[in-house]
């Protein structure tokens, strides 16, 4: 429990700043509530009445009561507005959390309104920074709350061109899972061409210890395949737990006006009827497939746009648990036991009761576009099938950046084992110690993305097995991260059977410089590579003639390449930039780019492309 005295001077000054604000009536002073934010902390609470200039014909009353919850660290921390249980708004609007009934003992509902700078209708036309002055911040929030109410009264909280947002769906208690699906612009056409409004869906659980199910395939009501999303290599185990459910489909988001997600089966029926659809009739088309006394997944699909008022761009699926439907000898009064009519009547009267809450679950779109929305490589590089020769420090770093950037197909070739000394700069950890690098790295990379298909050949290049050589020939990009003469010679001699994008990455002494050689050709141009890089390697030898290399262990003297991981990863990032450009642009001739680490006044200042005139 947090020990607090009276409100701070900052809070008292913030309250005084509200005096004279038109449309605001304060209904008390600051009150500390331990139950305002969970059992371990509380908030300062200010009760008020807001009376903005609303549209009298709109859904917002002329005056509504509110509770403002403020962090004890004000002017820092959160400032949230919650509708009062008595005298507040009871509906859920856009830019508002689900306005459900309050928790025990709380006088406010749970639908805090979104009044941050991201809500364009409240005045954000350019960058509208929230002030953090003691007297400014709280008043600024009240101004935004009044503007929110005025916009809500005119149904103007969703402006055309604004990013589209779904209403908040609160998972119900009991069985709590995340249901992941894949939907993008291309798959929307599949659903547009399909006539069924209900069907079956198969899901599987990739990890028995995690509450996550992935959609494996959608089927029609008759059991015919519609589409299978296709997941990465990490999910290929056929022994994974599987379950069958049902899906139904609408033409728009199932909401109650203005923007409330249905909480009960009766509200969901109402939302379906608003779009001219009968939920019970749709479920009846597929219910006979899942009448076995088990709880089953229910997916509710509908198309959504990227921006308000724009065209639909992809399907979205809500997920819930469908209670065990009537089966066996169950029936309804007046109907024969064990018949579909009796089952349906009993389902309506005793199972899917109007007042019963829906067991909503968390649903997430794991389509590659959504998963990588925080940052991804261009499609020119993501779509390539890349052969990585060398899974050492630089190879593992580049591979990590490529897969996390969206590259889906990668084949790793390396014949070495992970030793304890590798851990200081390799992406693998203790769990892979004394394992072969290639399969261990492939396993790690497959776990980095739900779409990754990373394979491994645990041997030196070139492999001797025909199956492995066929895998290599399917790759359209060859990335050497060994810099070894023997490997480069084999890359030149290998029968590639067509043009490839070749790249060879190698580091200078101490990872102070990175050499990136790229070429589009039918074989690796070793002579061009040698002619470009040899002068720089001679310069390296002249610069570090007496450098003492570190050694590994106390046995036979064995030199090691010195480089810290914090020097290596920026070079790996630079290499990915080179690959990105090479994949997108034509290469009239082989080229070598050099990046170097530099300092200013003895302090690290970054990496830059080396000046060729001084690099040799």
Mean pLDDT over residues 580-601, rounded?
94
Q: Which two tokens stand for residue 215?
A: 């959609």
- Helix, strand, coil distribution of the chain in percent, nearest 5: 30, 25, 45
Q: In the CATH scheme, what is the code of domain 9-153?
A: 3.10.110
Q: Which CATH class is domain 379-615?
A: alpha beta
Count of other CB atoms within 10 angstroms of residue 559: 11
Tokens of 159: 């402006």
Mean pLDDT of 208-236: 95
Query: Same fold for the domain at 9-153 and the one at 379-615?
Result: no
Q: Cα(566)–Cα(113) distance, rounded to whole angstroms?
A: 43
Assign residue 386 a region (left: φ > 0; alpha: ψ between -120 and 50; beta: otherwise).
beta
Tell me what percent of the residues of the chain surpass a pLDDT of 70: 93
- The mean per-residue pLDDT over the stretch 48-58 comes to 95
203 closest CA partner among 177, 233, 170: 177
Using pLDDT thresholds of 50, 70 and 90, give the confidence band for residue 542: confident
Query: What's the whole-number mean pLDDT along residues 363-368?
Result: 96
> pLDDT tens digit string along 451-468?
999 999 999 999 999 999
The vertex-577 CA angle with 534 and 452, nearest 5°, equals 115
**pTM of this structure:** 0.91
If pLDDT is split at 50, 70 and 90, which confidence band does 141 have? Answer: very high
Q: Where are the domains of the chain?
A: 9-153, 178-370, 379-615
Residue 357's contacts (CB-CB under 8 Å, 6 or more residues apart) are 172, 263, 264
pLDDT tens digits for 295-317?
999 999 999 999 999 999 999 99
CA distance 499 to 384: 13
Span between the terminal Cα atoms of the chain, in Å: 67
Percent of the chain with pLDDT over 90: 83
Look at residue 41 and tell me whether its pLDDT is greater than 90: no
Pure H helices in 42-184: 134-153
Contacts of 426 (CB under 8 A, 6+ apart): 392, 393, 396, 418
pLDDT exceeds 90 at position 383: yes
136-146: average pLDDT: 96
Q: Give mean pLDDT, residues 341-360.
A: 96
∠ Cα 383 389 395 (to 5°): 80
What are all long-range contacts of 31-37, with beta carbons under 8 Å and residues at least 24 apart?
32/4, 32/7, 33/69, 34/1, 34/2, 35/103, 35/105, 35/106, 36/69, 36/106, 37/69
Mean pLDDT of the chain: 92
Inform me whether the pLDDT recorded for 615 exceeds 60.
Answer: no
Q: What is the mean pLDDT of residues 383-400?
A: 97
The confidence score (pLDDT) of residue 553 equals: 46
Of 302, 306, 294, 312, nearest to 271 by C-alpha is 302
Regarding predicted confidence, which is higher, 171 or 89?
89
Give the angle subtended at the CA of 596 by the CAs of 594 and 602, to the nearest 5°. 165
Q: Supply the pLDDT for residue 126.
A: 38
217/200 Cα distance (integer angstroms): 9
Residue 511 CB coordination number (10 Å): 24
């Amino acid at each position: 429990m947090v020990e607090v005295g009276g409100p701070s001077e900052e809070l008292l000054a913030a309250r005084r700043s509200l005096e004279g604000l038109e449309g605001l009536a304060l209904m008390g002073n600051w009150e500390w509530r331990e139950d305002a934010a969970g059992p371990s902390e509380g908030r300062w609470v200010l009760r008020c009445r807001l009376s903005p200039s609303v549209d009298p014909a709109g859904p917002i009353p002329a005056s509504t009561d509110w509770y403002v919850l403020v962090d004890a660290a004000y002017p820092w921390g959160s400032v949230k507005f919650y509708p009062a249980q008595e005298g507040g708004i009871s509906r859920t609007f856009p830019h508002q959390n689900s306005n459900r009934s309050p928790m025990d003992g709380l006088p406010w509902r749970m639908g805090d309104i979104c009044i941050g700078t991201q809500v364009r209708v409240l005045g954000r036309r350019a960058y509208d920074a929230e002030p953090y002055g003691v007297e400014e911040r709280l008043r600024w929030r009240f101004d935004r709350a009044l503007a929110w109410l005025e916009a809500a009264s005119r149904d103007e909280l969703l402006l055309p061109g604004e990013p589209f947002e779904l209403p908040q769906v609160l998972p119900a208690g009991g069985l709590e899972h995340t249901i992941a699906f894949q939907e993008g612009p291309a798959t929307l056409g599949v659903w547009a061409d399909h006539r069924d409004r209900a069907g079956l869906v198969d899901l599987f659980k990739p990890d028995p210890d995690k509450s996550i199910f992935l959609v494996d395939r959608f089927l029609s009501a008759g059991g015919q395949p519609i589409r299978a999303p296709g997941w990465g290599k990490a999910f290929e185990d056929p022994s994974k737990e599987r379950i069958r459910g049902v899906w139904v489909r609408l033409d728009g988001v199932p909401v109650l006006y203005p923007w409330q997600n249905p909480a009960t089966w009766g509200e969901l029926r109402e939302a379906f009827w608003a779009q001219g659809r009968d939920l019970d009739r749709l479920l009846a088309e597929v219910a006979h497939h899942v009448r076995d006394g088990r709880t089953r997944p229910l997916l509710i699909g509908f198309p959504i746009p990227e921006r308000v008022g724009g065209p639909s761009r992809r399907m979205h699926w809500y997920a819930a648990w469908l209670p065990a439907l009537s089966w066996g000898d169950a029936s309804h009064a007046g109907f024969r036991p064990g018949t579909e009519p009796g089952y349906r009547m009993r389902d309506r009267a005793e199972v899917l009761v109007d007042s019963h809450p829906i067991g909503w679950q968390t649903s997430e779109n794991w389509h590659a576009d959504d998963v990588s929305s925080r940052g991804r490589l261009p499609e020119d590089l993501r779509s390539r099938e890349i052969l990585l020769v060398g899974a050492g420090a630089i190879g593992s770093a580049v591979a990590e950046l490529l897969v996390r950037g969206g590259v889906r197909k990668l084949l790793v070739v390396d014949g070495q084992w992970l030793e304890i000394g590798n851990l200081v700069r390799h992406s693998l950890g203790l769990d892979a110690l004394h394992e072969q690098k290639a399969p261990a790295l492939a396993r790690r990379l497959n776990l980095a993305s739900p779409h990754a298909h990373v394979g491994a050949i645990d041997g030196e290049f070139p492999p001797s097995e025909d199956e492995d050589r066929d895998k290599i020939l399917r790759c359209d990009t060859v990335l050497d991260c060994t810099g070894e003469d023997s490997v480069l010679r084999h890359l030149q001699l290998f029968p590639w059977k067509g043009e490839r994008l070749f790249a060879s990455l190698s580091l200078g002494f101490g990872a102070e410089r990175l050499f990136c050689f790229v070429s589009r050709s039918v074989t690796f141009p070793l002579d061009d590579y040698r002619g470009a890089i040899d002068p720089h390697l001679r310069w390296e030898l002249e610069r570090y003639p007496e450098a003492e290399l570190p050694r590994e262990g106390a046995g036979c003297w064995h030199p090691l390449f010195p480089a810290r991981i914090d020097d290596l990863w920026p070079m790996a990032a630079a290499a990915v930039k080179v690959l990105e450009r090479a994949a997108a642009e034509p290469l009239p001739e082989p080229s070598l780019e050099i990046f170097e680490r530099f300092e200013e006044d003895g302090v690290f200042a970054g990496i830059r492309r080396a000046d060729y005139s001084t690099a040799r």
